[in-house]
Amino acid sequence: MNNTEREVNSVFNIAVYIKLMASFIPDADFEQVSKMVGDIHDFFKFSEKEEVLEKLPYIKSNLEQMAAPLLTRFPIRKSLDDIVADWDQFFKDDSEIYSYGLEYGWLEERMDIQGFIPYNHIPYHFRLGLYANMGNFGIEEEFLIKDSFNILVKAQKSFDQLKEYGDYKQKVLTEEGKKDFDQETVRKITDLKYEISANSRLAIISFYAFVESFVNSLGYSHAKRNEGILTENDFEILNGKKNSRFLQLKSKIERYQPLIRDDGKTIIVTSDDNQIKEPFISFFNIYENLRNSAVHFSPTKEPIWLKPADWIEKAEHFSKLSLQVALEIWKSCYPILASPDYIGRLDYDIFMDKAKLYIRNLEEISDEMNSCS
């Protein structure tokens, strides 16, 4: 590569850098920037060498002026050419980066973006929406906690419907002077009971999955940010393994704390029956067994043949217990920080209200379609 090609590539990298930044900064005009980068690319590719050399200083000066406020706002930790090369690798690997977003940690390693998202803590793998999803953020365990509450609300609605339908049919039965429900009513009541039990079981499975995902996230994020200073053994543990074998949730909760905390202390003990405390006693001794039975039942495990009222009671109790467990784990790892902003501060009411609104919106869609038919 000669000096001219090197200079052209260096200038074009400024344009690509601007496009990268415009893909996630909410106040940027990504479409306009993308068009500009395309025009510059075509000019460099199809124009005569003399014309490129003539206009190169002008293009460079304009791009540097555009990039200057970005570089001031987000000082780079790698060279601009290296950042662009790393960014281009996503497209060489056929990554759907614009669909799934960009890891916060990827940006964090390449530039100082502190303060861009006003949260008290941001996991390494927290994703920033790009282009059409610009301004949106997300992380996998948030999907799981939303799933959990959505399923729980469905179970609750079915339970309320069962009580209302039962009362209504009992009143009709009394007015008609009959003693027993007809087969159609029995079938509907049976279906409602199944719906309650099924969604309650799924809620317990999903809340447990959320807690495990949340713990995995804490370990993974700390491992990624401290890979250079962690021992190989500690790095493996924080990724959920020991001697290439997967660790149980109990073990991860206990082992992660001293590795993440600055003082190396273990606040929550889960391995000793004499030291384990609530809410972890109930979480593991009652609900982990129930979850395991619901996932891979056998006659030797916790029974899953329960009354709908018992299932809904357990699902509601476990939902509160799960968030309490997650919050205790968070505090044990980050004693100085407040509840995590990136996942709704683990506030039960926040997620419950969102779930109720979500279910109500779905019902409104059905009502709207029915009214048009």
pLDDT at 301 > cutoff 60: no
To the nearest 10 degrees (0 to 180), the angle between helices 3-22 and 30-46 is 170
Q: What is the pLDDT of residue 294?
A: 61
- 74-88, 90-104, 131-145: lowest mean pLDDT where? 90-104
Cα–Cα distance between 346 and 102 in angstroms, integer? 24
Q: What is the pLDDT of residue 302?
A: 54
CA-nearest of 158, 119, 125 to 139 is 125
Entry pTM = 0.90
- Answer with the residue of higher pLDDT: 301 or 207: 207
CB proximity list for 30: less than 8 A, separation 6 or greater: 19, 22, 23, 131, 134
CB proximity list for 267: less than 8 A, separation 6 or greater: 257, 261, 331, 332, 335
Average pLDDT, stretch 257-273?
A: 96
Structure tokens at 366: 């059905």
pLDDT at 147 > cutoff 90: yes
Give pLDDT tens digits for 200-249.
Answer: 999 999 999 999 999 999 999 999 999 999 999 999 999 999 999 999 99
Q: How confident is the model at residue 303 (pLDDT cuts 50, 70, 90)?
A: low
Structure tokens at 211: 């807690």
Write down the domain spans for the chain. Answer: 3-138, 140-372
Give the DSSP letter string of 304-350.
----HHHHHHHHHHHHHHHHHHHHHHHHHH-TTS-S-GGGGGG-HHH
Of the chain, the percentage scoring pLDDT greater than 90 comes to 78
